[in-house]
Amino acid sequence: MDGWTLSVLEEGEHGDARAVFEGEVDGARMRVELDLAADRLAQDGAPSPFVTTAVRVSHAGVGRRLGWRGITSTLFRKIPVASLSEAAGREMDKRLKGRGLVQERSSEELRDLAKRGPKDDEVLRLVGQLYSEALVGSTSPARDIAEKLGLSQATATRWIRKSRDKGYITALRSEIGREGSGA
């Protein structure tokens, strides 16, 4: 990633992210914007729990230099998209794992809190946060929540619905792929 700087890293609402890098290729100042999505199939130890879903490249310099022919395929191939994608994914993974409520509490504390039941807003907020974290790298958020809170998977699924009804979850994993697809 020599010469490339991560200037923007934003978390989306559905386990996705947007990263913007700036760097130089053949003397031209370039801006590379990557859209990332959580990779449900990523294994522990994978370079990144995200996959790149879109790449946008633009000239970031002031004006054009003499003889510059625009963004050509030759120029595009010199941009280290895979390295930039891995770096952004690792950074987002660190950010997600390093924050908040869940990381600060032991398994015992989480299970004690869950004993209050789904009528408690703090419990439903926790379910929402656990769901968001499980979207990154998990195949089953309900199973993860059930394990962490000491619930059956059916109970965890009901609590997820209640958390969503209260607004602590913006969209369920099953809905994310359907957005904008006309389905």
Domain end (from 71, 98, 125)? 98
Higher pLDDT, 66 or 22: 22
Q: Do the domain assignments include residue 14? A: yes
Higher pLDDT, 136 or 115: 115
Q: Do the domain assignments include residue 37? A: yes
Domain end (from 44, 63, 98)? 98
CA dist., res. 10 & res. 25, Å (int): 24
- Residues 77 and 122 both lie in one domain: no
Domain end (from 63, 82, 98)? 98
Q: Do the domain assignments include residue 12? A: yes
Q: 148 near 130, Cβ under 8 Å?
A: yes
Q: Do the domain assignments include residue 181? A: no
Q: Do the domain assignments include residue 141? A: yes
Query: What mean pLDDT is predicted for residues 127-147?
Result: 79
Is pLDDT at 170 greater than 90 in this prediction? no
Q: Which alpha helices (DSSP H) does 55-106 contain, by range?
A: 73-77, 81-98, 100-103
Neighbours of 122 (CB within 10 A): 10
- Residues 16 and 84 both lie in one domain: yes
**Residue 97: per-residue pLDDT:** 65
- Residues 144 and 116 both lie in one domain: yes
- Residues 14 and 93 both lie in one domain: yes
Domain that holds residue 136: 100-176
**Residue 152: per-residue pLDDT:** 94
Q: 150 near 143, Cβ under 8 Å?
A: no
Q: 1 near 87, Cβ under 8 Å?
A: yes
- Residues 73 and 116 both lie in one domain: no
Higher pLDDT, 114 or 61: 114
Q: Do the domain assignments include residue 63? A: yes
The two tokens of residue 76 are: 């595009």
Please indicate, yes or no, whether the overall pTM of this predicted structure exceeds 0.85: no
CA 68 to chain centre: 36
Q: Do the domain assignments include residue 183? A: no
Q: Output Rg (C-alpha) for the chain, integer angstroms.
A: 20
Is pLDDT at 118 greater than 80 in this prediction? yes
Query: What mean pLDDT is predicted for residues 132-137?
Result: 69
Higher pLDDT, 50 or 88: 88
Question: What is the average pLDDT value for the chain, to the nearest integer?
Answer: 78
- Residues 41 and 11 both lie in one domain: yes
Tell me the CATH number at 93: 3.10.450
**Residue 180: per-residue pLDDT:** 44
Query: What mean pLDDT is predicted for residues 103-119?
Result: 80
**Residue 137: per-residue pLDDT:** 56
- Residues 10 and 80 both lie in one domain: yes
Q: Do the domain assignments include residue 45? A: yes
Higher pLDDT, 129 or 8: 8
- Residues 74 and 42 both lie in one domain: yes
- Residues 93 and 112 both lie in one domain: no
Q: 125 near 102, Cβ under 8 Å?
A: no
CA dist., res. 59 & res. 72, Å (int): 11
The upper half-sphere exposure of residue 75, i.e. CA atoms within 13 Å in the direction of its Cβ, equals 18
10-37 pLDDT, tens digit per residue, is 887 666 789 999 998 887 888 999 998 8
Is pLDDT at 179 greater than 50 in this prediction? no
**Which residue bears the tokens 């590379």?**
32
Work out how many domains the chain is built from and give that number.
Answer: 2
Kindly state the helix (H) or strand (E) to which residue 12 belongs, with its residue range. none
